[in-house]
Amino acid sequence: MQKIKLITFDVNGVLLVSKPFTQRFAYEYELSEQVVVQQFKQAYQQYLANQKPGLYRYWKEFLDKHSIVLSEEAFLDYWFNNETLNTQLVACITALKRNGFMVVALSNNFKEAMTIYTQSFPQLAAVFDQTFYSWQTGFVKPDEEAFTHMLKTMDVSPDSCIFFDDAITNVQAAKRLGINAYLYTSYAVVQQALNEHSIELYAL
């Protein structure tokens, strides 16, 4: 078994926990979740393709169409200010780093989200050795490039990396590259994965 050097975490749904935005938004404004998910995907692709600041601009037409009155500030606050920090994972990451492992974030995320998160969760920026956010790299999970870019930058092989994500498509994509990938559903998954690779966290 290859020695583990790098441990990678998704952010939303793993380190930051909340009910998915599409579920909350659909319920709040009495819309079909399928319609909101479709808009989310479309807006996200436009955001990445144009590389222009202002996530709100890609939602404004949708909001107007459904007679939803939200300012840009209110919209972003509704979306990104509902997360709770997973303090158990923060403690785990701190212990991993103390024991000599590199720990990074690999996340599909928006610049606007990270601005809010930096204010709400100042420890988020400090907890990782490096972050790979899609709005910075231009690579989106589950595309292969998102993973290979991270591996190349960190100078590690796929089999020396552990990856946790709450989306099965991302986990499957990572596994196809030879990464030790796990579907995150609770902290117990992290404990089990670390045990499988004989990684002990004496500080926890």
Question: If you write DSSP's letter for every residue of 165-177 in order, what string do you get?
Answer: ES-HHHHHHHHHT
Looking at the chain, the whole-number percentage of residues with pLDDT higher than 90 is 75
pLDDT band at 118 (very low <50, low <70, confident <90, very high): confident
Give the list of residues 6+ apart from residue 7 with CB closer than 8 angstroms, or none.
93, 96, 101, 102, 103, 104, 161, 162, 163, 164
What pLDDT score does 93 carry? 96
Bond prior to 122 in cis (omega within 30° of 0): no
Provide the pairing of β-strand 84-85 with 102-107. unpaired
CB 96 within 8 A of CB 1: no
Question: Tokens 């796929």 — which residue?
Answer: 158
pLDDT tier at 54, thresholds 50, 70, 90: confident
Domains in the chain with CATH codes = 6-17+84-196 (3.40.50.1000), 21-80 (no CATH)
- Express each pLDDT in 3-13 by its tens digit: 999 999 999 99
Q: Give me the amino acid identity at 49.
A: A
Q: What is the pLDDT of residues 82-110, one digit of tens each?
A: 899 999 999 999 999 999 999 999 999 88
The pTM (predicted TM-score) of the whole model is: 0.89
More confident position, 170 or 1: 170
DSSP state of 158: G
